[in-house]
């Protein structure tokens, strides 16, 4: 009976260590994908042994799933927020800004997702459909509402969301390439500002009611 308590309520130190492992794993999976990462690399990266890592996450697959779940939550909140704004200009501007901020502050999160999708999402197709699809549909319905109210032009809003994702995620996934071609070691805050106004301008310009 004295065994029950420690199992149900892990100590703060345990939670912190799990979080630490999770972040290190996110960065490694982002760069090399599930198959390309060794638990040894993740472990030494944060100064623990491979065996100790396996104590906290019993298998490589469970660790990977935990990383994906952690990233997904950050994604969905942004999508949920857009469906609530009454004004399309504000909603879109803030959504693009939030998505780009995520790319800037946590590029690994975006990259893990992109890699998973590129392999055909074998480990994640289910959760993708169950959790992302409802939010996507809610956002598309919001676009349709704005269109009916005459606030925006009508286009294929699902594909428009795909393109917003593509543009904002590129500033995480393809950041090394962009930086290289800009002749700098890494993207600077100014590049994200430029990207934000450019992406927002592209989308809002196309949706403006009086435009063709």
Partner DNA sequence: GTCTATAAGCAGATAGAC
Partner DNA sequence: GTCTATCTGCTTATAGAC
Q: Which residues bind DNA (CB under 7 A)?
A: 6, 10-11, 13-14, 17, 37-41, 48-52, 54-55, 58-61
Residue 27: which residues within 8 A CB-CB, separation 6 or more? 45, 108
Q: How far is the CB of 210 from a copy of itself (least distance, A)?
A: 10
State which residue, 12 or 181, has the beta carbon closest to a copy of itself. Answer: 181
The CB-of-161 to DNA minimum distance in angstroms stands at: 35
Reference 88, options 149, 140, 151; nearest CA is: 151
Binding residues for a copy of itself restricted to 132-151, rule: CB under 8 A: 132-133, 136
Is residue 120 part of the contact set for a copy of itself (CB under 8 A)? yes
- Dump the DSSP string for 46-112: TT--HHHHHHHSSSHHHHHHHHHHHHHHHHHHHHHHHTT-S-HHHHHHHHHHHHHHHHHH-HHHHHH
What does the binding site for a copy of itself look like in residue numbers (CB under 8 A)? 30-37, 111, 114-115, 117-121, 125, 128-129, 132-133, 136, 155-156, 158-160, 162-163, 165-167, 169-170, 173-174, 176-178, 180-182, 191, 194-195, 198-199, 201-203, 205-206, 211
């Amino acid at each position: 009976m004295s065994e029950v308590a420690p199992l149900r309520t892990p100590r703060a130190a345990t939670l912190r260590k799990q979080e630490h492992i999770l972040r290190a794993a996110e960065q490694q999976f982002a760069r090399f994908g599930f198959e390309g990462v060794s638990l040894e690399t993740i472990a030494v990266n944060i100064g623990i042994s491979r065996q100790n890592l396996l104590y906290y996450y019993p298998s490589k697959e469970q660790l990977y799933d935990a990383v994906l779940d952690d990233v997904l939550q950050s994604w969905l909140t942004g999508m949920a927020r857009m469906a609530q704004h009454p004004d399309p200009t504000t909603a879109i501007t803030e959504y693009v800004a939030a998505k780009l901020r995520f790319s800037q502050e946590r590029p690994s999160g975006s990259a893990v997702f992109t890699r998973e999708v590129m392999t055909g999402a074998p480990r994640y197709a289910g959760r993708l459909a169950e959790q992302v699809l409802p939010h996507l549909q809610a956002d598309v319905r919001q676009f349709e509402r704005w269109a009916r109210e005459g606030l925006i032009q009508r286009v294929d809003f699902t594909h428009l969301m795909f393109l917003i994702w593509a543009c904002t995620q590129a500033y995480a996934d393809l950041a090394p390439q962009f930086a290289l071609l800009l002749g700098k070691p890494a993207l600077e805050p100014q590049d994200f500002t430029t990207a934000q106004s450019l992406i927002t301008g592209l989308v809002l310009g196309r949706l403006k009611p009086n435009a063709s």
